[in-house]
Amino acid sequence: MCPLRFNPIGGYCLGRGGRLFIILGIAGPLVAYACIGLSILLSSSFSWRVNALSDLGHAQNSNVAPIFNLGLLLSGFLIALYSAKSLINYAKYTGISILLSALLLQAVATFDEIYGSIHFIVSLLFFVSAGISCLICSVERRSILAALAFLIGLLSWVLWWMGVYEAGVAVPEMISALAITSCIIHSAAKIMHVSIA
């Protein structure tokens, strides 16, 4: 029995500091976008037409690599905490999958473009795992938003690969990331709403 407060999200119990972990589900993505936005603003060479977002994190070629990579590392850490301490109690399989995606996000920052093929592999695994997380959430929580996020993310990549629109890989990266993180933020807001009710 929960010594503090019991909340009926499948037996979800808000322990000490439980709301803090829920807030991390909102803060994590916002930290990433704040650091990405600041990196783009301060970058001397970034262009949506030719670059990947990871170009901002190249330790030798980018003047904003510390900002970009620290943002991804911190974002991944916050989302991992949210997944392990809060989301997993609300949607077990989604929580596990998002936790894996968050760790892969940290790997993207750790193994920046200097690492060549290693960076490509962890980046690919991150986007694939994040898309799978949306699929899992759409089934586990019967979430239309998660299903839409998966489709939007997938379409952004397919249309880019087909040459339907001309842009750097940063564009499908950002579109799919926004779609995916909308699910994370929505889940945190939903858990917070139920915890207050």
pLDDT along the chain (197 residues), means of 10: 43 65 98 99 97 98 98 99 96 98 99 98 98 98 98 98 97 98 97 78
Reported pTM = 0.91
Reported in sequence order, the residue ranges of the chain that DSSP labels E, i.e. its strands, are none
Write down the pLDDT at residue 4: 34
| Sign of the four-CA dihedral 79, 81, 84, 88 | negative
Secondary structure of residue 104 in the 3-state scheme:
helix
Cβ neighbours, 10 Å, residue 154: 16
Write down the pLDDT at residue 112: 97
**Cβ proximity of 59 and 65 under 8 Å:** yes
Which of 97, 89, 71, 106 minimizes the C-alpha distance to 21? Answer: 89
In angstroms, the Cα distances linking 193 to 22, 23, 45, 149, 187 are 10, 11, 42, 21, 10
Q: What is the pLDDT of residues 168-197, one digit of tens each?
A: 999 999 999 999 999 999 999 999 988 765
Write down the pLDDT at residue 124: 98
| Helical residues (DSSP H) of 53-116, grouped into ranges | 65-82, 88-90, 92-110
Half-sphere CA count of 187, side-chain side, radius 13 A: 36
Write down the pLDDT at residue 1: 40
